[in-house]
Amino acid sequence: MDDGGARLAPMSSTTVFLVAEEAAHHELPMPPWLFGVIALLAFAFLLGVTWSFRGTHNKYAPPAPRPGGVDGDEPHWPEHPGHH
């Protein structure tokens, strides 16, 4: 295997650490507290979306069968035998 005459020079651990430290250091695009505010606003928006769909299942679900009869025509009390 021909390495093309290139020589690999060993780097000391200090040099590697300094290069890694330079690469890892960068400024945030906004203050850190603003990330929290944006997250709270996003969750509040998602809560609003979820809240807007409350009761949707009851609007579109078929009615549940009632006990006592197929169409719910059961007597409410003895003097009132049924609706029909």
pLDDT digit string (tens) for 9-64?
Answer: 566 777 766 666 666 667 889 999 999 999 999 999 999 999 999 988 888 878 77
DSSP β-bridge partners for residue 80: 77
- The label of the residue with tokens 């507290």 reads 33
Q: Determine if the pTM surpasses 0.75.
A: no
Residue 70 reports pLDDT greater than 60: no
DSSP β-bridge partners for residue 77: 80
Residue 81 reports pLDDT greater than 80: no
Strands (E), the chain: none
Average pLDDT over residues 64-69: 66
